[in-house]
Amino acid sequence: MSQRIHVIGLSHKTAGVDIRERFALAGFNPVAAGLTQEHGPITEAVVLSTCNRVECIVVGEPGADVAHIVHQIWAQTCNQPVELLTQHTYCLNGAAAVAHVFSVAASLDSMVVGEPQILGQLKAAYRSAVEAHATRVILNRLLHKAFSTAKRVRTETAIASSAVSISYAAVELARKIFADLSRHSALLIGAGEMAELAATHLLAAGVQRMAVVNRTFSRAEELAKRFGGQAYGFDALSQALREADIVITSTGSPSVILTASQMREIMRSRRQRPIFFIDIAVPRDIDPDANAIDNVYVYDIDDLNGVVEENRASRQQEAIKAQAIIDEEVQAFLQWMDELRLQPTIVALLDQGERIARKELRKSIRQLGPDPDPQVVAIMERLAHSICHKIYHAPITYLKRRTQEEGSAERFIHQARRMFNLDGETPPEDAHDDRKRSR
């Protein structure tokens, strides 16, 4: 048996935002947390944590209870009960795990099918894992293939045409609520990529006035200047909220930035004028209890499902084409995994051959006398090395070909190791004399 790829995760399909925000793993370092260890049961890990999914993509040793280990460390990191976590997670192994990673990268598993942000988020997660020294040959190959597969899907299908995003869905929801945005003002809380996309869509929808609030004021200024809005520092949040009709919030804060009691105060100064929050952050930025205040309407990311369903139906045909590309790339990756399993056997075969060649070479050189010609010795060494590799070329080629044709390396690895006694097995007592002598 060989190492296997596993995905243990939860997403918008298995857990509501109230669960996703409790188990978010933003900034998680697999090495520092003890998830990966050089000689441990899990040797590689990439952790993806977005508003709609948290997934641990790991490589586990044969026989290791990988899901149990991941669940324990994950729950402990979030200071939440592991029993709650396991109710909402899925565990995929082998080919299913590979197919899932490719589908996530290609945005087929996204809430908004075809949205482009997930690929950037997966690349960022991989970059963090590389910097933490949490990846090796298998996940390096898997993630690079996931990125190239996503590129194929976007190039060869129309899945990304009229590309939409969570931010687009949020603005669409605002349009459904207000019908005409030209008489309303919008406030963006946060100045990241989601806020930038939301600003683009709000302008396209004709919003009357736009403002940006961000903890880093210079970033708020930059975004506001680009879209003709007004910038506020975070200490001016209450003032900005007094003037807004629609608020789209997408900060990376680990806890709420606006409590229900703060919102009651703000509503008094607004003279109870209605305000609509569309909170696309996970963990959520707005206290859900604020929704109970008169004339305060709070929508979270799960409330975007209506908009998303329309998008999904229109992209179904392209999704079928994309799935065919993913199936093809998964088969190619699994073939590479099988060939990877051959490597220790190929190395052992060549080592055995070179060991025999060196032994016979020493005998031959002794026959040349006490002071052999160095040029002759060099020629003999090259000859022995060449013969060794030519003899083993045929069995190695056979192993590779049969693995490719039959899709499984295990049986051929077993046969080859026994045939060439690569594991140094001791013949049984009742073995034929020829076999005993051959050791």
User: What is the set of active-site residues?
Assistant: 51
> Cα(89)–Cα(56) distance, rounded to whole angstroms?
11
- Please name the helix (run of DSSP H) or strand (run of DSSP E) that holds residue 233, with its range, or none: strand 230-233
Q: What is the DSSP string of 152-209?
A: HHHHHSSTTTT---HHHHHHHHHHHHHS-GGG-EEEEE--SHHHHHHHHHHHHTT-SE
**Strand-strand pairing, 246-249 and 185-189:** parallel
Laid out side by side, the sheet with 230-233 consists of 230-233, 209-214, 185-189, 246-249, 275-279, 296-300
Question: Residue 253's CB: how many other CB atoms inside 10 A?
Answer: 15
Question: Residue 345's CB: how many other CB atoms inside 10 A?
Answer: 21
Please give the structure tokens belonging to residue 86: 């396991």
Phi, psi at residue 93, to the nearest 5°?
Answer: -130, 155
Beta carbons of 266 and 256 less than 8 angstroms apart: no
Laid out side by side, the sheet with 4-11 consists of 42-49, 53-60, 4-11, 90-93
> Cα(25)–Cα(231) distance, rounded to whole angstroms?
30
Burial of 236 (0-12, 13-18, 19+ CB in 10 A): middle
Among positive and negative, which fits the CA dihedral 106, 112, 116, 119?
A: negative
> Cα(283)–Cα(250) distance, rounded to whole angstroms?
9
Distance of alpha carbon 297 from the chain centroid: 34
Please give the structure tokens belonging to residue 197: 């996309």
> Cα(115)–Cα(101) distance, rounded to whole angstroms?
16
| Secondary structure of 366-394 in HEC code, one letter for each residue | HCCCCCCCHHHHHHHHHHHHHHHHHHHHH
